[in-house]
């Protein structure tokens, strides 16, 4: 099939009703990150510029577009927790993105119960079926192609402890879709939910 393309250079504008960038690179898993400031304030916020980057040791990362509370907390303490966003938790996750001051605890704002972590003084989202306790490994300020600094920081951390709800383990195999994970699409409001019907298998050649 031949395509007729809309082509553009992002630096000079996309020429569309909405920037398609994050609708194209999507749906993305959500980094729902809890952290604590050095002075003790608890924080929780979603980051969809998020992914896993290494197996051994496991490393995950997210981008803070602008210097936000989560970034500052991790700079101060070196610790954070990732919590899986599931369909029952989606609306609460959305509430935790409110632009509130660092003294506001988004767990309380969104009516979310906490569980303690085993390796750090950062709460987990109690109703999230999977959490990773992470220690910061690197914080990289991003650069444009000309080497100029961008006000975006990529926060990378090693997963030092994993908590999985046992119901998601069938004969020792983690069931991705059973967790009903929610992923971020583009535009102001698009999300996707993973269901078991969407599963297909394809093995690597050779």
Ligand X SMILES: Cc1cc2nc3c(=O)[nH]c(=O)nc-3n(C[C@H](O)[C@H](O)[C@H](O)COP(=O)(O)O)c2cc1C
Contacts of 110 (CB under 8 A, 6+ apart): 44, 92, 93, 95, 96
Residue count at the site for ligand X (CB under 6 A)? Answer: 19
Q: Is residue 46 close enough to count as binding ligand X by CB under 6 A?
A: yes
Q: With CB under 6 A as the contact rule, which of the stretches 68-76, 110-118, 157-165, 173-181 interacts with ligand X?
A: 68-76
CB of 157 to ligand X, least distance (A): 15
Identified binder of ligand X from the candidate list 42, 60, 63, 92, rule CB under 6 A: 63
Q: Is residue 30 close enough to count as binding ligand X by CB under 6 A?
A: yes
Sign of the alpha-carbon torsion through 59, 62, 66, 70: negative
What's phi and psi for 167, nearest 5 deg?
-65, -20
Contacts of 103 (CB under 8 A, 6+ apart): 41
Kindly tell me which of 46 and 129 has the beta carbon lying closer to ligand X: 46
Q: Is residue 68 close enough to count as binding ligand X by CB under 6 A?
A: yes
Number of H helices, E strands in the chain: 4, 13
- The candidate with the shortest Cα–Cα distance to 136, out of 66, 71, 49, is 71
Kindly tell me which of 48 and 131 has the beta carbon lying closer to ligand X: 48
Contact predicate 153/142, CB 8 Å: yes
∠ at Cα 65 (113, 98), nearest 5°?
A: 35
Q: With CB under 6 A as the contact rule, which of the stretches 57-65, 126-134, 140-148, 192-200 interacts with ligand X?
A: 57-65
Q: With CB under 6 A as the contact rule, which of the stretches 5-13, 53-61, 63-71, 133-141 interacts with ligand X?
A: 63-71
Q: Is residue 165 close enough to count as binding ligand X by CB under 6 A?
A: no
Neighbours of 182 (CB within 10 A): 23
Write the DSSP symbol of residue 74: H
Q: Is residue 182 close enough to count as binding ligand X by CB under 6 A?
A: no
Contact predicate 127/70, CB 8 Å: no
CB of 206 to ligand X, least distance (A): 36
Q: Is residue 37 close enough to count as binding ligand X by CB under 6 A?
A: no
Identified binder of ligand X from the candidate list 34, 42, 45, 107, rule CB under 6 A: 45
Identified binder of ligand X from the candidate list 77, 94, 95, 193, rule CB under 6 A: 94
Residues near ligand X, by CB under 6 A:
30, 43, 45-49, 62-66, 68-70, 94, 97, 99, 184
């Amino acid at each position: 099939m031949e395509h007729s393309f809309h082509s553009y250079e992002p630096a000079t504008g996309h020429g569309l009703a909405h920037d398609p960038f994050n609708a194209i690179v999507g749906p993305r898993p959500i980094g729902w990150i809890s952290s604590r400031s050095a002075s003790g304030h608890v924080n929780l916020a979603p980051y969809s510029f998020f992914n896993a980057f290494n197996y051994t040791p496991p490393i995950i990362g997210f981008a803070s577009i602008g210097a936000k509370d989560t970034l500052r907390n991790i700079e101060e303490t070196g610790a954070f927790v990732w919590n899986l966003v599931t369909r029952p938790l989606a609306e609460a996750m959305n509430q935790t993105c409110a632009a509130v001051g660092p003294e506001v605890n988004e767990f309380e704002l969104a009516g979310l119960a906490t569980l303690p972590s085993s390796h750090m003084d950062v709460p987990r989202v109690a109703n999230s079926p999977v959490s990773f306790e992470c220690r910061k490994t690197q914080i990289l300020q991003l650069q444009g192609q000309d080497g100029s600094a961008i006000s975006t920081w990529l926060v990378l951390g090693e997963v030092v402890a994993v908590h999985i709800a046992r119901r998601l383990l069938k004969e020792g195999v983690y069931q991705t879709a059973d967790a009903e994970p929610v992923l971020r699409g583009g535009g102001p409001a698009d999300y996707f939910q993973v269901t078991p019907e969407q599963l297909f298998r394809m093995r690597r050649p050779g």
